[in-house]
Amino acid sequence: MEVTEAVRTRGLSKTFGRQVAVGGVDLVVPRGGFAGLVGPNGAGKTTTLSMVTGLLRPDGGSVHIGGADVWRDQVAVKARIGVLPEGLRLFERLSGRELLSYNGQLRGIPKAEVERRAGELLNVMDLTGSADKLVVDYSTGMRKKIGLAAALLHNPDVLFLDEPFEGVDPVSANTLVEVLRRYTASGSTVVFSSHVMDLVERLCDWVSVMDRGRIVAQGPLDEVRAGRSLNEAFLGLVGARGDGGPAGGEGLSWLGATPS
Amino acid sequence: MAGSDPLVSAGTVRVGPMVFVRLKLRLIAGNLRGSTQRLLGFVFTTIAALLFGTFGFLSMVTLRLAPADVALESVTVLLTVFLVGWAVVPLLAFGLDDTLDPSRLALFPLRTGQLVTGMFAASVTGVWPLASLAVTAGAVAALATGIGGMLLGAVVVLLHFALCVMLSRLVTTSLSGILRTRRGRDVLAVSAVLFILVAQLPNLLLNGGLSADPRAMLHALASALSWTPSGVAARSIADGGLMAVAGAALLALLIAGAGWLWIAALRRALVTPDASTQGASVRNSRGLLAGVLPDGPLAAVVSKEFKYARRDPRGRVGWFAAIAVTGVMAFSMYGDGGAVGGTFAIAPACIGALMISVQWCNVFGIDGRSLWMNAVAYGTDRDWRTDLAGRHLAVATIALPLLLLLAAVAALLAGDILWGVPATLTAWGVLGVGLGVGALTSVLVPYTVPERLNAFTGAAPGQGGIAFVSSFGVLIGTGLLALPIVLPVLLGLTWVSVLAVPYGLLVSWGGRRVAGKIAFGRYPALLEASSMAT
């Protein structure tokens, strides 16, 4: 059977104490290209991505990646996905080059091949000059780039990135986008969460909108935004709080005023 | 234009030292909110500080009953300890504390003078400073004579206290630039352990019976310290006359000097950038063992563990602590002098193996927040077992020669180098058992090892109990499981030591096998427990 979906979850849910972080999510991502997962803070994007990538055990529901169950068929799934979780948690006391070769060796790629790929990735990511510095001394942009390089090293089919552009300078963001474009050009899939609507609009052909632990809209970009900009559509979907004209007509009258 | 707001004065604002005192009190209160454990800790330290202050003061008062020269010499030494303590302890205990890190205040429109008085006031606020002032004040009761002497003594005590605070601020501020870099914090983390050990030294010397006459030692120490600021202060209090006035003047001068240096350091600290991203490159060494091992996950984990043992302060502190604790315990066994016989060769080596095992009761702790990188690559329980094997191999590579050395030295001291053979074999066996048990505690009761070490905690807030269970689990589990090989050897059946190494290998293999299965089953929980916020 030909599987046309890269990712499919059914009724995925997770509760922390009394708080329902994810309440029955049916996430669908078609194969190939960029898919964006957008939603306000606390919508459950990170929790969903953690469960999809096998880093957090769901309370209920199922996750399939390329037709394989994430929690039952771990060997097949883990060889097939690349992950960059939130928070840039990396091996701080390895150098960038060592981090890449550690990842490659963990996955059983021959040493010579790991070194060749690592060299090329460092080069493309513009990290060759800092390859032998410890990751603990890297800036945010450099950390995102080395994290992405580590996630790409074993050439996965599907790449999951949690807020890959957060806190990244425009130059590094551009490098990240270029590398990802090359990666998807051959039919691979990138799923990423983001707050930056312009970027999602520019890159993605597929968007899933989350709010309060649920998917509130999902589909091809043009269908979701329905003639508006994605930002307007998004604010409409999540029911933007405080919609009443210019912010704070009552207070803040002193702000920006020019007395005397 | 927003800058010309009539209600915000254009120049500096009048901010008195009380603002800083209130800020510090509020920070302390805010830190306690919502956490019963921290509240209990605060109550405990407050009680400890009160007891310290009261008993310190009372014991100073009882010095009055001692001969005058003994009292003077004791006060000299005590005041010096306070002065050094003020300079060093805050640095080691807290790194930099939020109230007093000048860089946090850099954006406020404050003159350096305001900052100086404010931060001085904030430093004095707290139970420990007040307790130490109380103890210092005891010096007046111990030494001063007459009402004039008392009054002058009180002035000298206050000046000495002010000097302590000033010196403490000067040290923290001038090092704050370095402490905000990663390298500076690394050095500090390791030196905290050194400091604790140095503090143990007098204890050891006394236990070892090496001290001659305590009176003579006190006299020598005090005469060496008599011209330090603390020595001058002590003599001024005792003298009470013109000498006291001169002493007070000298102290005031020193305070002014330290204050001036502090202001200079503060000015510099406020405009010195954070240099933490300018790290140097590391050597890209492969390591001997990693070169021998077949390419793959095992070699990757082994070489990563070696790098962490060397580069991460937590790794260095772990090994250092294991070796130091063993050394201290072995040394105290020889204290009585009658330590000859096989037991005294075998026991230290086995204790050493046990101590090293305890350090690895939480093998994934040092990876902590980065452990997910392994988790996304491992698809079977065999992968987790290989990971554990890599960690054990790295530990064993460092530990086996160390235990050999320890056993040889212990055997020599016990009277016969030949004892070293069973001692080494038994210790290696115990290490194997310990690592096997440690693999189980690592997956059953994992906890987060904070990235910023300090001398007082080894786990994330709220996980202290888990860390305790984990290390005692290894201690007791290893002790029990190692009995079949250690007991016969200690009782004289030395040939049993031949079986120790295979036994240790078997237990560690079994431990890894079970732990690998458990880890595969509950690795999301493992990730969560070992990457808590610290």
DSSP string, B95-114: SS-GGG-GGGGTTS---HHH
Q: Which domains does chain A have, with CATH numbers?
A: 5-237 (3.40.50.300)
Residue of chain A whose Cα is closest to the Cα of B522: A57
B183–chain A Cβ distance below 8 A for any pair:
no
**Cβ contact (<8 Å) for B370 and A106?**
no
Which residues of B are less than 8 Å from A255 in CB distance?
Answer: 2
**Cβ contact (<8 Å) for A93 and B307?**
yes
Backbone phi, psi, residue A21, to 5°: -80, -45
**Cβ contact (<8 Å) for A132 and B282?**
yes
Report how far Cα B337 is from the mean position of its chain's Cα atoms: 31
Which residues of B are less than 8 Å from A111 in CB distance?
Answer: 295
* pLDDT in 10s for each residue of chain B, 534 residues: 444 565 555 555 567 788 888 888 887 777 777 667 667 877 888 888 899 999 999 988 888 888 888 888 888 888 888 888 888 777 766 544 555 666 667 777 777 778 788 888 888 888 888 898 999 888 888 888 888 888 888 999 999 999 998 888 888 777 776 766 667 767 776 676 666 666 666 665 555 555 556 777 788 788 888 888 888 888 888 887 888 889 899 999 999 999 888 888 877 777 765 554 455 666 655 556 666 788 889 999 999 998 888 888 778 877 877 787 777 776 666 655 455 567 778 888 898 899 899 888 999 988 888 999 999 999 999 999 999 999 999 999 999 999 999 899 888 888 888 889 999 999 999 999 999 999 999 999 998 887 665 544 566 666 777 888 888 899 999 999 999 999 998 888 889 999 999 999 999 999 999 999 999 999 999 998 888 776
Show Cβ contacts of residue A25 under 8 Å, excluding neighbours closer than 6 positions. A9, A11, A12, A13, A44, A48, A61, A210, A213, A214, A215
At B220 the pLDDT is 79
B531–chain A Cβ distance below 8 A for any pair:
yes
As a whole number of angstroms, the distance between CA B322 and CA B313 comes to: 14
Show Cβ contacts of residue B395 under 8 Å, excluding neighbours closer than 6 positions. B305, B356, B360, B435
Q: Which of A54, A78, A105 sits opposite B300 (nearest CB)?
A: A105
Whether A149 has a pLDDT exceeding 80, the answer reads: yes
Residue of chain A whose Cα is closest to the Cα of B384: A106
- Nearest chain A Cα distance for residue B454, angstroms: 19
Which has the minimum average pLDDT: A98-102, A105-109, B150-154, B196-200?
B196-200
Q: Give the residue from B28, B17, B34 showing the smallest Cα distance to B94.
A: B28
**Cβ contact (<8 Å) for A93 and B284?**
no
As a whole number of angstroms, the distance between CA B293 and CA B335 comes to: 44
Mutate to test the interface with A, among B274, B373, B384, B451 (most CBs of A within 10 A): B373
Q: Which of B284, B295, B308 sits opposite A95 (nearest CB)?
A: B284
ipTM of the complex as predicted: 0.88
**Cβ contact (<8 Å) for B182 and A136?**
yes
**Cβ contact (<8 Å) for A103 and B373?**
yes
What pLDDT digit, counting tens, does each position of A28-60 carry?
999 988 999 999 888 999 999 999 999 999 999
Which residues of A are less than 8 Å from B182 in CB distance?
Answer: 136-137
At B533 the pLDDT is 72
Which residues of B are less than 8 Å from A77 in CB distance?
Answer: 379
DSSP B348-403: HHHHHHHHHHHHTTTTTTTTGGGTHHHHTT--SHHHHHHHHHHHHHHHHHHHHHHH
Higher per-residue pLDDT: A71 or B319:
A71
The terminus-to-terminus CA distance of chain B in angstroms comes to: 42
What part of A 195-234 touches B (C-beta under 8 Å)?
Answer: none
B448–chain A Cβ distance below 8 A for any pair:
no
At B301 the pLDDT is 93
pLDDT band of A166, cuts 50, 70, 90: confident
Higher per-residue pLDDT: B457 or A191:
A191
Which residues of A are less than 8 Å from B297 in CB distance?
Answer: 105-108
Q: Which of B1, B279, B374 sits opposite A133 (nearest CB)?
A: B279
Q: In the structure encoding, which two tokens stand for residue B181, read together?
A: 């870099």
**Cβ contact (<8 Å) for B284 and A132?**
yes
Q: Which of B301, B311, B528 sits opposite A93 (nearest CB)?
A: B311
**Cβ contact (<8 Å) for B296 and A256?**
no
**Cβ contact (<8 Å) for B297 and A106?**
yes
Which residues of B are less than 8 Å from A83 in CB distance?
Answer: 372, 376
Whether A1 has a pLDDT exceeding 60, the answer reads: no
- Nearest chain B Cα distance for residue A48, angstroms: 14
At B96 the pLDDT is 45
Which residues of A are less than 8 Å from B277 in CB distance?
Answer: 137-139
Residue of chain A whose Cα is closest to the Cα of B382: A75
A23–chain B Cβ distance below 8 A for any pair:
no
pTM, two decimals, is 0.77
Q: What angle do CA B382, B384, B387 make, to 5 degrees?
A: 110
3-class DSSP assignment, residue B24? helix
At B141 the pLDDT is 85
How many CB pairs (< 8 A) connect A and B?
110
Backbone phi, psi, residue A109, to 5°: -80, 135
B379–chain A Cβ distance below 8 A for any pair:
yes
